[in-house]
């Protein structure tokens, strides 16, 4: 996961900071079919309350995603 501000703390030159911001702006954003996403077997949260999931779904429906979903490739065409 990226740490948007912490990576800028050590930079002293304005051009270096702008360069890092430009790198983030050029990051890949892709649409991936949900069937290609495998649940993380190390997910620390094991119990999901149905009413909380419903609230989350309603919030996403109303406001959209506030942060992108981040995945990593685990095998060809799977994340």
18-35 confidence digits (pLDDT tens)? 666 666 555 677 888 999
The domain of 39 spans 6-63
Residue 71 included in any domain: no
Total residue count of the chain as it appears in this document: 79
Which pLDDT value is given to residue 1?
47
For residue 36, tell me if it sits in a domain: yes
Q: Report d(CA 17, CA 56) in Å as an integer.
A: 35
Higher pLDDT, 16 or 45: 45
pTM of the model: 0.49
Residue 77 located in a structural domain: no
The domain tally of the chain equals 1
pLDDT at 69: 85
Residue 73 counted as domain residue: no
Q: What is the CA radius of gyration of the chain?
A: 17
- Residue 12 in any domain: the answer is yes
For residue 78, is it within any domain?
A: no
Does 52 fall in a domain? Answer: yes
Summarised one tens digit per residue, pLDDT across range 29-79 is 788 899 999 998 888 888 889 999 999 999 999 999 888 888 888 988 899
Q: Does residue 74 belong to any structural domain of this protein?
A: no
Name all contacts of 32-38 with Cβ < 8 Å and 24+ positions apart. Answer: 32/71, 32/79, 36/77, 36/78, 36/79, 37/71, 37/78, 37/79, 38/74, 38/78, 38/79
């Amino acid at each position: 996961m990226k740490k948007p501000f912490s990576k800028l703390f050590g930079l002293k030159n304005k051009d270096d900071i702008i360069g890092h911001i430009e790198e983030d702006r050029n990051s890949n954003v892709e649409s991936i079919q949900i069937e290609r996403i495998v649940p993380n077997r190390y997910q620390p949260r094991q119990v999901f309350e149905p009413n909380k999931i419903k609230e989350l779904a309603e919030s996403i429906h109303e406001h959209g995603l506030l942060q992108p979903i981040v995945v990593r490739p685990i095998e060809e065409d799977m994340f």
